[in-house]
Structure 1
Amino acid sequence: MGELCIENLQKTYSVKDGWNRTKELSVFRDISFTVRDGEFVSVIGTSGCGKSTLLSIAGGLAQPSGGRILVDGRAISGPGLDRGIVFQEFALFPWLTVLGNVAFGLRSKGLPRRQREEIAARYVKLVGLSGFEHYHPNRLSGGMRQRVALARALAIEPAALLMDEPFGALDAQTREAMQNALSDIWAKTRNTILFITHDIREAIYLSDRVMVLAGRPASVTFELEVNLPRPRSRFDPLFQTFESQLEAAIGHKPMMAAE
């Protein structure tokens, strides 16, 4: 468990214009919010607003131009085992089995092989893949591969789990099944999760809070607390009201008042 604190985060790139002159492109500025211990927070916004860049910085894969991100009060400066990351691409090792892929990150903890496999087996079971431990990725469906990626990220028991549109490459039916699975897993583990998505309904279904990035440069322009009981129904009238509010915040339609 852990707290992820984003403080006055900024990201600027140097780009060349048509005359080969260098200019500064500000992606986002002064982004500040906290994902509390055990909280599920989603970030949504239009394409190009910097959602994935934000997550890359949180993962230590990119550096901010200003501000900082802290995990349990410690400023991050690069990748670390205190953060697990799940990308849209499955990024599994094709030569390793399901169990081998899930256990891979545990090598960095210096655990003996038997202990790594015991921990990996526990998380394989958690994501619903018992019986598939010795399968290779090429024998798995897209949804099953993403379950392996999720189990691998959870197995290192990170303080925070970072997810970058993890279900974006899946078909609609599989995507909904994975949303249900993630909701059930989070209810059991209560991991701190920062979740990037462009899908408003996905954000509402999964999250405690939803942050909207908008503008150029982008900033947090709207915050929604999703005070719906779990498990959630996508047909709940309040769910649909929240959907309308987020669409309005992104700029898709007029705002509706919450009941």
Structure 2
Amino acid sequence: WNSSGFQVASMAGPAIGGLLIALQGEAALVYVVDALLILASFGCVAFIGGRQRQPSPEAPSFKSLVAGISFVWRSKLILAALTLDMFAVLLGGATTLLPVFAKDILQVGPAEFGWLRAAPAIGAFVMAFALAHLPPLRQAGKTLLWAVAGFGVVTVVFGLSRWFWLSLLMLVLSGALDNISVVVRHTLVQLRTPDYMRGRVSAVNSVFIGSSNELGGFESGVAAALFGPVLAVVGGGIGTVAVVLAVAFTWPQIRALGLLEEQSSSARAS
């Protein structure tokens, strides 16, 4: 349930925005509505109450900052999961080029573009709802690898598609498969990290994923400028599958990962 609210907003925002642009013929109203909603969110934040916090016994230092990176480097499972997700997002993200695909390849209007932009969030929301009601994954490692490989495959199909509905379906599937990866990775980080290290490891996780999102957009733009948008997306999808194979053989521990559950102190370091 942790990501459901974000996915609902990611799903509704682009769809409503595209519809408003199609109805109004311009984007001015969309930006006005967006600004009002941002102001409303500031008001909601103002109502969040503070809570008493115990001071940390460890003084902030460069050593404590590096400790999170060192822990991730020593924990092969966490390192494998972060590497897999980082390069999958870096290579396989097609959303940056959606305006080009909507206008020049699929030749659709603002409303259809809004649905294309919302499609990954739709898939992610449906998958989050399903995972919340399904039993825990018993082969989490293999599920993670297959999900990221599937993400690469549907990215390739999206890049080759010239049919709006097929492209929309591929984007929905990409969001669903990506959310499996997100859930497994976040659960793995939470369960395999000691309490005193969890904040720093979560920060490393955020840096990995945040930087790959931004660099992935840059990579997609450069590749599209050099080779065209279709080859950029198809090549990125193939690269994602190659990364899955590389991670699976570099860190065989990820293939053997079974049911995600609380680990002992010795298991956490593996």
What range describes the TM-score normalised by the shorter chain of this pair?
under 0.3
| TM-score, scaled to structure 2 | 0.20
Q: Whose strand fraction is larger, Structure 1's or Structure 2's?
A: 1
**Higher RCO (C-alpha 8 Å, min separation 6):** 2
